[in-house]
Each structure stands twice: as C-alpha cells, then as structure tokens.
Structure 1
Amino acid sequence: MKPGHDGAVALVDAAAGRLEWSFEPEKDSFPRYEVFNPSQFVFAAEQLGAMPDVFAVSGWGKGSMAANAPIGAGYYGHGNEAVQHHHTTMFGANVNYFSSSHERSHIWCTYGLSPFEQGRPCYVLTWEGALGDFYRVDEKLDVQHVGRVMMTPGNKYAFLYALADPTFTLPKGKLRNEDPGKLMALCAYGKSGEMTPDEREITDFLLKRDSILATLAKDDLRGSKYHNLGLQHPDFTRLAKRYSDEIFNRFYLYAKEHLTNGYPLLIAGGCGLNCDWNTMWRNSGLFEDVFVPPCTNDTGSAIGTAVDAMREFTGRAKLEWTVYSDRAFIDDQPDMPDVVTYPLDLAHVAGFLAENKIVAWTQGRCEMGPRALGNRSILAAPFARAMCDRLNRVKKREEFRPVAPICMEEEMSRHFDWVGPSPHMLYFQKVRNPELAAITHVDRTARVQTVNAQQNPRMHALLEQFRSQTGSGVLCNTSLNFNGTGFINRTSDLYQYCKTTGIDAFVYDDRFCVIRK
C-alpha cells in the first residue's frame, strides 16, 4: 500500500511471481492524485480470498515535505537501513509487516516490472519531485548508490511553469501535480540552443538550489522577466525548452562519466513520464536498452514495495504483469432514454469514427498508471487538425496540449519515425504521415501507443477495421475522464460524461451506444 498522493494498493502472488492487480484511488472518477483511503482499502479487501502473508507499506512523510516525520520506513534511503519488518496480528491473524523507503519503492517497481532476467546488473535512474539519483542493482539484488545529480528535479521543472502562469497563486511549499505535463507540451513550441543571459540566469538560479518547495515562493521572483509572463509567450516557450534540455543534459553528462558498463537503464519516478527525456535516453547510446514502466510515477510505488518485500522474504524480485491490472468496469445500469444501443460491431464503430464522430471507449480492466492505453480512451479520427481542438474542448484542456495517437504495431514505421513497439505511450516519435494532423504536435512529434493482437486484441481489431475503411490504422487516443478526476469506470459516469461534453457515442461491454442529438 502506498500512502500520500498517487496512492495505490497492489497484490502480488510471490509464489507465482505475478502481479494480480494494482488499484489506484483516483480511478472510478475520484480526484486525480488521490491518496489511499478507507474506501480503497475495503474495495481491495473484497478482492482477497485469504489473509495476505505480508502487509507492505511504502515509506512516506507525514507532512507535505519528504523529510517530515516518517510513515513506515520514511521517504529516503536505498540500502538495508531503509527496510524494516516484524511479526504482528491483523484481524486476528499472524502476518508480517514490511516497510521500505519511498526511494526503494521506485527502484524495485522498475526492476520488478522490467523484462531483464533477475541477476542481470542494471542501472536505475530515479528522478521525481524530490529525488534525482542513479543506482546500480547487481546480480545479488544489492542496491548501490552511484550518485546524486540533482535534488528535486521534478519540483524544479514544475516551478518554471508556475512562474510564468498568471493563474498560479499557491503559497511557498505548494506546486500543482498537473503542471509538469503541461510544460512538456509547451517545450515543443520552443527551440533548443545556447541560452540567452536571461535564460542562463534563471536556469542556474533554480537548478543550483537543493530545494524549491521549502525555500522559494513564486513571488520571491517578482523581479524576473518571466514572472507571470504568460505560458505561450515566445520568450517563455524558448526558455522552457532550453531549461528542460539543461536538466536532461546534467543527468546525461553524469551518466556518461559514471555509468560506463552499458547495463540496461531502468527509469523510475514522475520524470519518467517525460517522453522527450525518455527518447533522449533511448537515443543516447550509453545503455544497451532502456525500460520505463507505465506506472513510473508514484502509482507504481505500491508495486515496488511489494516487490521489495518479495525480495526480502523469497529472494525473487521479478513479476509477470499486464498494464491492464486496475479494476474491472462496473455496469450500474443507469436510465439512458436518449441512447440507441447496438450490439458491438467493430466495423460499425470504425465507420462511425471515420465520419469524424467521437467515441468514448471502455473495455476490460483499467490501465495502471496515468496513461490511457486503449481500455479507458476517447477515440477519434486522426486526420483533421480541428479534431485536436475539439478533443481539447471536450477535455477542458489548454489549446496548446497535443492529442496522442494509438497505432497498430505493424503500421508504426509507416506513420512514425520509429522501429518496434511503444506500448505504454512513453516516448516521442517524429510523424512521417502528413495526413495525421490531429495527432501531430507543433514540433512534428507525437506520443504514440502501439497495439498488437496479443496485447489488446479488441483495440487492435478496431484499428484494423478503421484501416480497412480509411487506409490508416491510427486513431486519436486521449484519456476518458472528467476534468480533474481519474478514469471513468461505470456506466452512469460514462453516460453523464458523454452527455455533458457532446461526445457522440460510447462503448462498454459488448454494447455500442449512440446518443440521439
């Protein structure tokens, strides 16, 4: 169980080496970044057929700062000193209580989910709000700290967005969890290059600090030219890109000097959601491979602590898993008098999409992590730029935000400058096909998810039908959620959402539901 924001509860069958499920409190239309709560605890308990042998709690801090009085093993620590366990009773049963640090939860999540066999040495990069460190996991599963590059890289990244945003009025010690993703979108409007004196001054001032939250408020920088400048001002978008490049470059130069064995690189922490940085790591030539889990941010911490407990008690630290490991869809059978329901026919849905209609799509279990990967998605044709604008209005998002594509794996290199799969939407690709205007960002990139017939057979079959009707096995794919909440997961919310946003139809179970206008 992971307390704090982006909470989660996961069940691991250690004997089978398998992740059974990972439930995130924000899913089912709870607020984004929700904490692990009593409702979540009861829901998880209902899924259990027996008392667990081990209750594993991710370390955390009791306040808003990572260094506050600890919950369990606390926030920091990578070695054995950051592990604790003892025997206790829960509900009258004898169990083991286990806790290890939040820092270790990131390391063991990405290690446990990575495709490399146990015992193969790996490097791990953990970069997030507080941490910016490299580690090595050796063949004996010992974690060695290679070095710290920068404290609080994620918070420093988010702070820059707040600095230029006139609507940001939070006091010192507060940042918005959604801002890093928005800054990533804005970076595409800027240009890499040598910094101007103003850009260098603000970049060095922010990046040399150990902490942002504890020591700096936005209004401390009232004299900066970038204070409330406006997010789409060309001076700010240029700074955003160069600031982002500088953060990456400091980690890259450290890795080039100190990570010289070519081991695979495993990426953990919220900065692992930055597709630009992931792509640069992949292309860096420093590592034989790069792996980023779909729950690289704190949504994977419950899994990571479970893997750490599994390592402690069994000596094994690898899991079989699927990204579709969150909860199943709930049909609560609302009254829907203005809906025409058809049996689900994928050719029918594909033809509907080809007419520039928008479909809310739910199938199977929710994705774990923050990205919609074909089971809780809003789908649309990818050809008209106006479709991107319409989807951003549906989502109540800023107009500078891009819409991602979902693509048949076998069509990837036809439409994008990429070879092989990209199943978790964690890298940027250059768009080759000029017809895909709705999913092409201002810098000619897209954040593609690939799908094959084994990974998600129904979505792959829909893309196949869409290709047969339009010539392209690509669709717009953005997350199905009310603004500010996690994925929609029940029919009543699905119906209400489509009604209030103007979405044309929705799919759940084996039903295709078209809303009468």
Structure 2
Amino acid sequence: MNVLGIDASHNTAALVKDGRLVASAEEERFDRCKHSRNPPVHAIRFCLEYAGLAAADVDYVAVGMDEVDHYSGLGLILSKVLLEGYPPGLLRKRFSVLRHHLFTDPARLRTHSPLSSAYWGKKVDAATDGTGLSAEIRVIPHHVAHGAWASLPTGWKNASCLVADGAGDWESTTAYAYHDQSIEFLRKETYANSLGFLYFNATDYLGFGFLQEGKTMGLAAYGDPQDVPGAVLDQIVRVPGELSPWYTVDSRILTDYYYGRGYLSHFTRLFGAPKRPPGLEATTPPYPVAAAAVQRSLEKALLHTVKKVVESTGEKKLCLGGGVAMNCSANGKIWASGLVDELAVQVAPMDSGTAAGAALRLAQQLGEKPLVEPDRSDWGPEFSDAEIEKALEAAGLRFERCPGSSIAGKAADLVAKGKIVGWFQGRMELGARALGHRSILANPGIKGMNDRVNRVKHRELWRPFAPSIAAERLGEYVQKPCPSPFMLIAFHANPNGKRELPTVIHVDGTTRVQTVDKRLEPLYYRLLREVEGHTSHPAVLNTSFNDAGEPIVCSPRDAIRSYFGMGLDALAIGNYLALNPEPGAKR
C-alpha cells in the first residue's frame, strides 16, 4: 500500500510504501523560496519518482492537519470562546475567513479551505502532470501526526511523548503515552495557552521576523534572566498554572500576531523598550535580557510539564515533537534535569515532519506496521556522479575526481588547514539542520573561525555554530553526553571541549552537537576521523549549506551557485573537489 503524506503548514511531502518511509522533502528546497507557502508540487513529484510510482499507484493521501473543521461555522467559534476559554482576540483570524462564508453554502466553505480534499486533489494532480489521482484523502489530527513522527522512529516499546508547538487543530501542547507503536492521548493545552506562540511573539518583539525563533534562542545566552525580577517572569509564564496543572502563559502575550500585535505593548512594559527597530544591534540592552527571560520561562514550563507527563505514564523515556522541540537549549535542560533516562527528538520535529508522521499513522490505521530507520535524516533527493560532473562543467569550474571515499580525506585536509568547505554528499536531509549531506564545514579549533563563517554566510556575528562529533567521542567534550544525531540537544561543554573546540561553544558554555555514527554516516564519519589525524579532534564546525535568506541547497546547481555566491574555499560534491583560486590567480 502506498500512502502520500502532506504537511499542510510548511508544505512538505512524504511517501510511505508498504509501511516503510522511503522519501520526504520540503517544497522550499525545490522552488528556492525560504519558508515557501507554495503547495508541495515539486516535493510530491520527487517522492513519487523516488519510490518509482505514478499518481495512479497512490492508495491514500494523508494530510497532517484537521483545520477544515475550524472554519465550519459560527457555533464552533463561539463554543471555543465560551466553553474552552479562548480569548476573543485570538480568534479574529478565524472570523476574517468566516465573514465571507457564514451565510453561504457550507460546501463552498470547504471547497475554499486550503485543506479540503478538493484543493489537495487538484494540487496532487498538478504535481503528477495531470495524470489524475484516485486516492482517498484522509485527515490525521495535527498533534497525532507530530506524535507519530516523534515516537515511531525511536524503536522503543514504551515511552512518554510530548508535543508542543504554536497551534494545530486548536491544540498547542499534547501529552501521549506510547506503547507498542500506538499513542494514547493523555492531556492537552489549547491555543489559548501556547508556548509556541509565546516564543513566536517574543521573536517578533526582538525584531527577528517570521520563523526566526532560533535567533531568539541564540540571543538568550547573552542575557541574564537573573536581571529580571520574579514578578516580571510571572507575567510571562506561571508554573504551576492557576488554570492548569502544567503552566499558564500570560494572555497579554498571546494576542494575535495578525491583528494589532497587542503583545508588543506588554513586552514593552516588561522590559522598558519598544520592539527592536531595524538596524539596532540585537545585543543592545535590554533585548538580550528579554530573550533570556522568555527562554527561561519556556524552560520552566517545559520542565514542569515533562515532570507531570512522566509521572502520569511512569515511562522515563521521552519523545519530543512539535516546533517547540526545535529549541535545543530547552531540550538540553530537560536532559540535564534527570527527569528522563533517554531523550529522543527526531529530525524535523516541526511541521515539516508531520507529512511523514501523518502517512505513517494512516498506514498503521490501515493495518500496516510502520517502519522508519532510526536516526536517519537523509530522506531527500540524491544525484549521480554524471549529473554532478555535468553541472560542474556547465559552470566552468576546474575540479578533480576523487575515487572511492578519498573525497573525505581531501576535504578533511582543507578543513584542518583553515579552509571553509562546501560539503554536498548523498541524499538531502529533511528539516532545518544540515547533518553532513548539505553542509558547510570548518575547523572548530581555530579561534575566530566562527566570525569568518558568519561573514561568509552574511549572518549576524553574535550567532553561534554547532559541531559534528564522532558519536563515541562526545564524552571527551561535553558533560552528561547522550546520542544527538539531529543536532537538537545543547550540552554544557567540559573544560576540554572549551579548549579544543572554541568556535562551537556559545557564550553560555553550551554547544549544540550532532553525534555522527559510523554505521549510519560512514563517509561523514571518515571525514571526522581524517580531521582528527590533522588536529587531534574528530569534530568539525557544521552549518547549513545556504546563504542568508535562502533554503539549504538541494541540487548540484544550487550548491555551485552558493559556492560562488558565498566565496567558499572549496566544494566537495560527490566524488569531485573544486577549489576556489587564491586571490589574484586566474580561474
């Protein structure tokens, strides 16, 4: 049975064939539009082609959101306000859609919903060259899709599962008990008590813009939340909450982003400054303190919630999902707390993972056993040597062929010498992290290398970088090590880590590590060991292969364009190595 999964928010597609995940990718990688809002036409086409399927071979389409029901009538809106405590200001966006349709045929309303079967049927049909799609479209609740993706790839028998994001199907935080590949609902927090929207709105106040929460997390290390009185922190999040045994987010922070942004005045009152204007350095007071206060509030709420969930399930293995699980600093605090014995955060825990989660969950409901290779990140397209060589020749690049796996040694030698190398190998990663397939690599032991790479990528100089480290060697560099294959847990560096890897240690002494397993990533692992032969550390600075404001590269053409645009020193692409000439040399 073939199930096509679609993420209805971040526009990702996935393909599950006979219960096994075989492909998944985000549309932005193909249309080259960061955070693309276009339907996943190219992503769907890729998934079908990779699986060797035509549109007629798809048995079901799984959509990871039940948002259609949110627009089905005024009665539902009023019930949300009156019975579930939703502040009316949070529902204005819903009303703006409803006002055009309240007195029209409900069938028309569903046709106009971007998540209706008619809509998705047309888009899937377009993605498959109009060949037609007879598959039935099924909706999987958003947090169920998140929960499935968070838990099924772990291979665990029993676990606790916590999903936290902005909102999906009116839920913002949901707890599940995971047993034998099934998830049992335990408790939820609603749209009116959203940790995701707390962080989203704080990011806007800090002047970082849409979907830039990672910058807020990075800036938080420059502030000391001790500078913020407890009474101020209580006006962000209270734990334990008065309305919930988990937490209570101050409602003044959750006024709708799209209608007046009333939360900005609340942040201004709390921190004594208006929204950071363009051009003002983010590290200017009081913005780092504000970021630190919000980060601390998020961590306090999550730690309390994890404690409650683990107590409820009795399971100290924890799966985290949802956009909030992208906050590696908070994940690190959970791991360091001792509340859990094992922690799993999957690649793409945000909405991009719900395409796979929805498809796997639907396949399971239809009687198949879901199968996902644990700790894999590379679910996207790959390119042959012939395709790569053709692209290099078309660009007029001079290059050398590196047979076998010798490309790892060539790249390692350059990294050790202080060169900045584009690394393009195998299938593309899913999600926002580059994990050794579409990466920019540098030597983390050379002081000042972080500033060089930030300038190459046209990023703010205060932003941190992360290392990839041979998995079995992690304990030499951090406190309380654990597997972190997707660069989603921040650890406190030990003295050796601070000494040996200075450019990947943030100002608060933490480092967001990717652990590299020899069995799963043999070529990348070999590069790390080759680097160790030159430097004494099996580690590289690893950042995503993209310039500021662009998606991570997908194709050889994308990689070559970014290589030129950023002025990288070298490009290790497949079995080929291209070198930028030294200044003054002829290309």
Range of TM-score over shorter length:
0.7 to 0.9
Q: Aligned equivalents of 2:93 and 2:542: distance in 1?
A: 35
Q: Which residue of 1 aligns with 2:85?
A: none
Q: Which residue of 2 aligns with 1:171?
A: none
Q: Which residue of 1 aligns with 2:143?
A: 103
State whether residues 133 and 148 of structure 1, in contact with CA within 8 Å, keep that contact through their aligned partners in structure 2. Answer: yes
Match for 1:251 among 278, 293, 302? 302
Range moving further from structure 2, 419-428 or 54-63: 54-63
Range moving further from structure 2, 495-504 or 232-241: 232-241
Determine helix, strand or coil for the equivalent of 2:500: coil
Match for 2:17 among 13, 17, 20? 13
Q: Does residue 1:398 correspond to 2:440, yes or no?
A: no
Q: Aligned equivalents of 2:299 and 2:426: distance in 1?
A: 37
2:567 maps to amino acid: G
State whether residues 15 and 48 of structure 2, in contact with CA within 8 Å, keep that contact through their aligned partners in structure 1. Answer: no
State whether residues 408 and 524 of structure 2, in contact with CA within 8 Å, keep that contact through their aligned partners in structure 1. Answer: no
Q: Which residue of 1 aligns with 2:34?
A: 32
Determine helix, strand or coil for the equivalent of 2:489: coil
1:38 maps to amino acid: V
Say which structure is richer in helix: 2
- Write out aligned runs for 1:38-53 (5 A): 38-50=41-53, 51-53=57-59
- Residue 407 of structure 1 and its aligned partner are, at CA, apart by 0.9
- Residue 448 of structure 1 and its aligned partner are, at CA, apart by 0.8
Range moving further from structure 2, 423-432 or 491-500: 491-500
Q: Which residue of 2 aligns with 1:86?
A: none
Q: Aligned equivalents of 1:296 and 1:71: distance in 2?
A: 29
Determine helix, strand or coil for the equivalent of 2:236: helix
Q: Which residue of 2 aligns with 1:82?
A: none
State whether residues 161 and 178 of structure 2, in contact with CA within 8 Å, keep that contact through their aligned partners in structure 1. Answer: no
Task: Say if 1:197 and 1:324 are closer, same or farther in 2 by CA, change over 3 A.
Answer: closer
Q: Percent identity?
A: 24
- Residue 412 of structure 1 and its aligned partner are, at CA, apart by 1.1
Q: Aligned equivalents of 1:123 and 1:353: distance in 2?
A: 41
Q: Which residue of 1 aligns with 2:382?
A: 328
Q: Aligned equivalents of 2:336 and 2:380: distance in 1?
A: 32
- Residue 348 of structure 1 and its aligned partner are, at CA, apart by 2.7
2:47 maps to amino acid: A
- Residue 302 of structure 1 and its aligned partner are, at CA, apart by 0.5
Q: Which has the larger radius of gyration?
A: 2
State whether residues 505 and 513 of structure 1, in contact with CA within 8 Å, keep that contact through their aligned partners in structure 2. Answer: yes
Q: Which residue of 1 aligns with 2:576?
A: 511
State whether residues 21 and 371 of structure 2, in contact with CA within 8 Å, keep that contact through their aligned partners in structure 1. Answer: no
Task: Say if 1:3 and 1:251 are closer, same or farther in 2 by CA, change over 3 A.
Answer: closer
Task: Say if 1:511 and 1:156 are closer, same or farther in 2 by CA, change over 3 A.
Answer: same
Determine helix, strand or coil for the equivalent of 1:489: coil
Q: Which residue of 2 aligns with 1:2?
A: 6
Q: 1:163-197: per-residue Cα shift (whole Å, max 9, x none)?
A: 132xx6xxxxxx6012x100010111122437327
- Write out aligned runs for 1:196-215 (5 A): 196=229, 199-200=232-233, 203=236, 207-209=249-251, 211-213=255-257
Task: Say if 1:399 and 1:200 are closer, same or farther in 2 by CA, change over 3 A.
Answer: same
1:244 maps to amino acid: Q
Task: Say if 1:451 and 1:320 are closer, same or farther in 2 by CA, change over 3 A.
Answer: closer
Q: Which residue of 1 aligns with 2:346?
A: 293
Structure 1: runs of 5+ lacking an equivalent: 77-88, 169-174
Determine helix, strand or coil for the equivalent of 1:56: strand
State whether residues 175 and 309 of structure 2, in contact with CA within 8 Å, keep that contact through their aligned partners in structure 1. Answer: no
Q: Which residue of 1 aligns with 2:289?
A: 238
Q: Does residue 1:262 correspond to 2:314, yes or no?
A: yes
- Write out aligned runs for 1:48-59 (5 A): 48-50=51-53, 51-59=57-65
State whether residues 221 and 227 of structure 1, in contact with CA within 8 Å, keep that contact through their aligned partners in structure 2. Answer: no
- Residue 345 of structure 1 and its aligned partner are, at CA, apart by 3.9
Task: Say if 1:478 and 1:139 are closer, same or farther in 2 by CA, change over 3 A.
Answer: closer
1:22 maps to amino acid: S
Range moving further from structure 2, 288-297 or 246-255: 246-255
Q: Which residue of 1 aligns with 2:77?
A: none
Determine helix, strand or coil for the equivalent of 1:34: coil
- Residue 410 of structure 1 and its aligned partner are, at CA, apart by 2.3
The normalised TM-score by structure 1 is: 0.86
Q: Does residue 1:438 correspond to 2:503, yes or no?
A: yes
Q: Aligned equivalents of 2:259 and 2:132: distance in 1?
A: 46
Match for 2:547 among 479, 482, 502? 482
Q: Aligned equivalents of 2:94 and 2:349: distance in 1?
A: 18
Determine helix, strand or coil for the equivalent of 1:47: helix
Range moving further from structure 2, 320-329 or 462-471: 320-329
Q: Which residue of 2 aligns with 1:186?
A: 219
Q: Aligned equivalents of 2:150 and 2:502: distance in 1?
A: 34
Q: 1:406-464: per-residue Cα shift (whole Å, max 9, x none)?
A: 11112211122243432110111122321312111111111111112111111111111
Task: Say if 1:197 and 1:163 are closer, same or farther in 2 by CA, change over 3 A.
Answer: same
Q: Which residue of 1 aligns with 2:162?
A: 125
1:18 maps to amino acid: R
